[in-house]
Copies of this chain bind each other. A is one copy, B any other.
Amino acid sequence: MDQKQGILYGVGVGPGDPELLTVKAVRVIREADVVAAPNTGTSRAALDIVQDYIAGKPILDCPSPMHRDRAAAKAAYARTAEDICALLERGKTVAMLTLGDPTVYSTYMYVHRLVEEKGYEARVIPGVPSFCAAAAALGTPLCEGKERLLIIPAGYEGLEESLDVEANKVLMKAGRSITELQDLLRRRGELDRASLAANCGMEGETLYPHFADMDDPTGYFSIVIVRDKD
């Protein structure tokens, strides 16, 4: 039997609110034969978001270790890519979920490349990035007119140098280091221009239009926005 190969869709499910999936993301998930869901070992956050859209659909569990052992992580993604290719070979359509947008700090693109290299078709369905949802919840623009915007990944290597760049800044996933970040911005005289959204669109959402007002460390999914000097 000459069976048509399936297609892999990398689907951005947005920042947390199930209503912030796009119409296209919902359709692609509903039409998929299998939903592939990253699993950090303790949570499947993307899967939780789409529960209302996947009743009864088979789930492919995709181990997605968050620790810093890059070789182990790459091996896990390679196994996921193999599992997905086996489904595509059997003509199945696979929707792999990813938080926010698939092109912004997502491991999905790693799997995407592996699947393409094996000769299968893979398509990206964009989503609302977490920083857009944070700015929306705070009611603050990320960038206007001639302002540039710098997105700084979690970990913050060389953070002072990043903060020196003339631009508005988004600091992704401020977590354990949130009070240190507050201290640093205070020392630099930038704390008054900073705001914070914790667990945006999820349970325990907390908004600080003035980051200076935050007096308890917040969750993993905090986003800090620092406006540039006027």
Contact = CB atoms under 8 A, between A and B. Distances in A.
- Protomer copies: 2
Interface string A156-169: 01000010010100
Contact of A135 (B14, B124, B146): B124
Interface string A119-160: 000111111110011011101111111111111110101000
A45 interface: no
Contacts of A149: 104, 150-151
A126 B133 contact: yes
A43 to B, nearest CB: 21
Given A135-B126, A136-B126, A151 B143 contact: yes
Highest count of chain B CB atoms <10 Å: which of A21, A139, A165: A139
Please tell me the size bucket of the interface on A: 35 or more
A135 B103 CA distance: 7
Interface in A49-96: none
B105 A144 contact: yes
Contact of A22 (B20, B124, B147, B150): B20
Interface of A: 12, 14-15, 17-24, 26-27, 101-106, 109-110, 112, 116, 122-129, 132-133, 135-137, 139-153, 155, 157, 162, 165, 167
